Amino acid sequence: MISSQNETARTPSRPQGTHICPICCIIPPHMSDHILKHGDEKMQTWMMETIRRSEQFQGRREVIGNFALALSPGEKRRTVYDARKRETLPGKLVRSEGGRKSRDVAVNEAYDGAGATYDLYHDVFERNSIDDQGLRMDSTIHYGVQYDNAFWNGNQMVYGDGDGRLFNRFTIAIDVIGHELTHGVVQYEAGLIYQGESGALNESFADVFGSLVKQRSLNQTVDQADWLIGAGLLAPGIQGVALRSLKEPGTAYDDPMLGKDPQPAHYSSRYRGSQDSGGVHINSGIPNHAFYLAAMEVGGFAWEKVGKVWYITLRDVLRSRASFSKAADATISVAGQLYGQSSHEQTAIRKAWQTVGVIE
């Protein structure tokens, strides 16, 4: 089912700057090393892109030539860098695929979390890494000073250490890692614009697949899962269990310093202000909860059925400006194709979107 891509639905959006530079593959390594060490950020980013592209190019050539290669596309390829509290990316290489475990727990968390995310996409959805072409998964840890954030910058994952008073290190929760990598997947697929409802859908897909990475790594059924995003991320003394809850949006924390979890579970309570790109981290609670309700109704392992519907919807159907109601219709339609019209799965998904008030 998964391999039959419906390309008529839309043209996949690709990240900017995908032109191929003819000199890319002939820059001597010492020169690229020099640029990576001493160039400015723009230059370094360009150099990293160049190296990536040439690796991919070489990978393809070697597949054509039928050589066995240690690092060929189709395999998990992870690298972890240490920014050592600076903001220069990618930082110093500290672990690459197959490399020894580090004494630094953040290195291993970033490495293992990227691995679990790769495995979910590969084993369940037959997707080969973020771009479905075996893209190397790069992570940088110890970014900035007391940096309370994690992000996907278009090319790689970046994790801060947290300030220690409000937040712990951002690699501590495996669903945060799955979340960031999924922003990469969204970028290569639906390309959901990070503003308003399409932005909240972008956030929601990241939370849903982030949670599925955690559930699968723990082999949890829908009843066993905690359905939380960022469990363990809140520093000691902060009143809360996590950052977001797919099960009960709006209940993850309530603390004098952080305030109260603002996520709505129903469309009528959606945030309409301009902060946070139109509340992308707030209104994501609505589609998050729809996924949770559908998964609970279907039962078993959430990634097997409802997860598959969400993945196919993201990959084949949604366009970059999709609204909540478009996403609802798309998942119902995909469920019909995968499991049959009026199937239990399709009915569960329709009912879930009705319960959160997105469709009637």
Partner 1 sequence: MKDEGKTMQITVERTGGFTGIPVTKIIDSKTLPQQEAARLHKMMTEADFFKLPTTISSSPQPDRFQYRITVEQEAKQHSVTVDETVVPANLKPLLNWLMAQPAQPATH
Residues that bind Zn ion (CB under 5 A): 206
Select from Zn ion, partner 1, none the partner in contact with residue 290, using the beta carbon and a kind-dependent cut-off of 5 to 8 Å.
Answer: none
What dihedral do alpha carbons 327, 206, 89, 20 form, nearest 10°? -40
Select from partner 1, Zn ion, none the partner in contact with residue 228, using the beta carbon and a kind-dependent cut-off of 5 to 8 Å.
Answer: none
| 120, 280, 293, 327: which one binds partner 1 (CB under 8 A) | 280
Q: Strands 150-152 and 157-159: what pairing?
A: antiparallel
Which residue is closest to Zn ion by CB?
206
d(CA 317, CA 185): 14
Q: Reply yes or no: is the peptide bond before residue 90 cis, omega within 30 of 0.
A: yes
Select from partner 1, Zn ion, none the partner in contact with residue 255, using the beta carbon and a kind-dependent cut-off of 5 to 8 Å.
Answer: partner 1
Site for partner 1 in 123-182 (CB under 8 A): 145, 148-154, 166-167, 170, 176, 179-180
- In the residue annotation, 345 being an active-site residue is answered as no
Name which of 158 and 335 has its Cβ closer to partner 1: 158
Residue of 179, 281, 289, 345 marked catalytic: 281
291 binds partner 1 (CB under 8 A): no
d(CA 282, CA 278): 9
Query: Which residues share a beta bridge with 151?
Result: 158
- Alpha carbon separation from 208 to 83, 307, 312 (Å, rounded): 28, 8, 14
Residue of 142, 179, 180, 183 marked catalytic: 180
| 11, 218, 257, 300: which one binds partner 1 (CB under 8 A) | 257
d(CA 294, CA 354): 11
Q: Is 224 exposed, middle or buried (0-12, 13-18, 19+ CB in 10 A)?
A: exposed
Give me the amino acid identity at 151: F
Select from partner 1, Zn ion, none the partner in contact with residue 260, using the beta carbon and a kind-dependent cut-off of 5 to 8 Å.
Answer: partner 1
The DSSP code for 219 is T
- In the residue annotation, 281 being an active-site residue is answered as yes
Name which of 39 and 262 has its Cβ closer to partner 1: 262
Judged by CB under 8 A, how many residues of this single chain contact partner 1?
39
Q: What number of CA atoms fall less than 13 Å from residue 18's CA on the CB side?
A: 9
Q: Print the SS3 string covering 221-261.
A: CCCCCCCEECCCCECCCCCECCCEECCCCCCCEEECCCEEC
**CB 184, min distance to Zn ion, A:** 11
Binding mask 235-254 for partner 1 (x = CB under 8 A): --------x-----------
| 277, 320, 347, 354: which one binds partner 1 (CB under 8 A) | 277
Name which of 170 and 339 has its Cβ closer to partner 1: 170
**CB 282, min distance to partner 1, A:** 6
Distance between terminal CA atoms of the chain?
A: 29
**Which residues are marked as active site?**
180, 281
Contact set with partner 1 (CB under 8 A): 145, 148-154, 166-167, 170, 176, 179-180, 183, 186, 193-195, 199, 202-203, 206, 230, 233, 243, 255-260, 262, 275-277, 280-282
